[in-house]
Amino acid sequence: MKAKRSLDPKKLVVTALLAGLAYVLNSFVHFPAMAPFQHFVDVIAAVLLGPWYGFASALICGILRMMSGRTIQAVTGAIFGPILGGLVYRKTHNLYLVFAAEVFGTGVIGALSSYPFMKYLYGVDLPHWYYFVPFYTPAAIVGAGMGLALLLVLQKAGVLQQMVHRINGQ
């Protein structure tokens, strides 16, 4: 029989802090149709928290952004990257693959999942099912690149693994 898992208070606090950081950064630094700081935080959350708490962080930020007037794209464009990045990091511990997973998760999966919501729920006339891919991918590359750069600096300083171990209680 498998033991029931409970929520980890340290991970919950870091999840909330990263969600708040993403929300604040996206509120103050805004580009038309781009939220690169969401992807910056997603890469960090994928490594520090793993796929499911990273997902929760992105979801919380996306919901806050929707409450501030953004569309459902604030959620669909954010949640797939940290899930995929967290799963990749869990298997490989390769930061460059986490970057690639965030870009693919957002730039392709998030973009494609946004199409039906925007077309059928919001009634936006969109020409193609892949319409959002060219918009999401550059933002994901820029943001995930910033997150990768920070993680590489932390790794080179020898503190990244300590942070991961402390947050995950290892």
Residue 89 lies in a domain: yes
4 has pLDDT over 70: no
Identify whether 106 is part of a domain.
yes
Condensed to tens digits (0 to 9), the pLDDT of residues 98-141 reads 999 999 999 999 999 999 899 888 888 888 889 889 989 999 99
Supply the range of the domain harboring residue 99: 34-162
Per-residue pLDDT at 33: 63
The 10s digit of each residue's pLDDT in 71-103 is 888 899 899 999 999 999 999 999 999 999 999
Residue 61 tokens read as: 């930020």
The overall pTM is greater than 0.75: yes
Residue 56 maps to a domain: yes
Is 1 part of any domain? no
CA angle 107, 132, 45 (to 5 degrees): 35
CA distances from residue 48 to 10, 30, 63, 71 in whole angstroms, order as listed: 11, 25, 21, 28
Looking at residue 31, its pLDDT comes to 67
CATH number where 81 lies: 1.10.1760
Q: What percent of the chain has pLDDT over 90?
A: 69
* 12 located within any domain: no
Whether 6 is in a domain gets the answer no
**How confident is residue 69, by pLDDT bands cut at 50, 70 and 90?**
confident
Q: 55 with 12: CB under 8 angstroms?
A: no
Asked if the model's pLDDT at residue 34 lies above 80, the reply is: no
Q: How many independent structural domains does the chain possess? A: 1
In a domain, 22, yes or no: no
